[in-house]
Amino acid sequence: MCKRDSPPPARTHAYNLVPPDTITLFQGPIEHAATEWEDGEFIDNVREEVWHTVVHEIAHHFGIDDDRLHELGAY
């Protein structure tokens, strides 16, 4: 997974002509993580891994670190 962006507070009036923020998900690591689950269908596990990864990266985009995500029960 790869995230390319600048957090919103770091952007100034000079932040223009910049490509949109992106999150790139890599199939191999997602599928590998999904196979490590003990229960459920593989495709359902893949969907859950994708959802978790995207929410995690969006949280980082808005400045929420891993410790705070733990406090919020995201893990």
CA–CA gap between residue 6 and residue 61 (Å, rounded): 8
Threshold 0.85, pTM exceeds = no
Nearest to 19 by CA among 5, 7, 32: 5
Which residues partner with 23 through β-bridges?
A: 3
43 φ, ψ to 5°?
A: -65, -35
pLDDT computed for residue 71 by the predictor: 92
The encoded tokens of residue 69 equal 């995500």
pLDDT, one tens digit per residue, over 18-54 is: 777 888 999 999 999 999 888 889 999 999 999 999 9
Bridge-based pairing of strands 2-4 and 22-24 is antiparallel
